Amino acid sequence: MDQKQKSWPTMAGYSLLLFLFLSQLWPKVNCQHTWQEAFKVLGIKWNRDGSLEREIQIPMVNATPFADPKHHTQVALSTDVQLSPTSGAYIRLYIPVNPPTDRKLPLIIYFHGGDFVLFSVSTVIFHEFCNNIAAQFPAVVASVEYRLAPENRLPEAYEDALNAIFWIRSQAQGAFGRDPWLDYADFSRVFLMGSSAGANIVYHAVIRALDFDLRPIRIQGILMNQPFFGGVQRTQSEIRLTEDAYVPLYVCDVLWSLALPPNVDRDHEFCNPLAGGSYLGRVPRLPRFFIKGDEGDPLVDRAIQLVQLLQSYGVPVVYQFNRGGHHGVELLNKTEAQYLYSAMRDFVLSTWATEDI
């Protein structure tokens, strides 16, 4: 082994070696495709240090803390706040360009999609999504930059999410001052929101948060759009849409192999909330849920199963399953995006104080 190889980061290098080893034992995924094909679809490849090179070209944008008089279509302002200098985690805060002065706004803690492996809060599609949430609800939005797999496998993203919730709690307590943007927030009306992998993170974050005293903040509801879950046993929607153009099943399998801890399968509780594990006993204590899925998404049956699980434990659930569509439809279709904003806004506005979690 040469000197460069000896300098590999321990976990990242182990991830690469483990993945290459497993690819020899299981060179095909989903019977017809190789993991190399999945990497090509995702626009990723291994670096020799065990990290991923992410080649997909989606624009990144900076925060916009000041209104631009030349930009008449600007609907929200944003600013970045560092959470951890060691992990790189930070929050991008959003407020409407003209926030109301006569009332406080609900606070949305948002987690972007990207299958645990891709993207950032500054990826333009998620930045604009949060701009629109802040403007249309209206709300204060805190979009969380979490660590990506495989360099940081689950549960690291869940830990980043929990730390973001703790930071919001410390801001509400105000013992060491408060970011002035959060003066617009009603800390008694906090919601967790996520799309795809972000929805998975939201679920596990709120489960973990149940073990802590979060006062004075109150998590009133959970909003999950097309949650990214899986399992060893295929669902009917996964079988029906195996070769889906947006999230083909063989790509999902590879993504889970990159994100999950080593030596576990897709029935691990991080991937499959129905498979048991340590979380089920906490489910009855969860707040109200909004869950949205689409008929054309291979993951839709997983969302339906989650609705059924929550309902079986007495958790209030508002759900919306649409005909047609596909995974990430709201990111490519403005009409679908507007439907989603409206449905989520209605859920937030209709959710009032219950009991602390």
C-beta separation of 292 from 260 below 8 A = no
- Using DSSP bridges, classify how beta strands 90-96 and 140-145 pair: parallel, antiparallel or unpaired: antiparallel
- For the chain, what percentages of helix, strand and coil (3-state, to nearest 5) are there? 35, 20, 45
Catalytic residues: 196, 297, 327
* Side-chain half-sphere exposure of 50, counting CA atoms within 13 A: 21
C-beta separation of 294 from 300 below 8 A = yes
Rounded Cα–Cα distance for residues 237 and 299 (Å): 7
Name residue 227's amino acid.
Answer: P
Residue 250 falls in which region: left (phi positive, over 0), alpha (psi -120 to 50) or beta:
alpha
C-beta separation of 53 from 45 below 8 A = yes
DSSP alpha helix (H) spans, the chain: 3-6, 10-25, 35-42, 124-136, 156-173, 197-209, 236-240, 249-259, 300-312, 329-332, 334-350
Tokens of 226: 């097309």
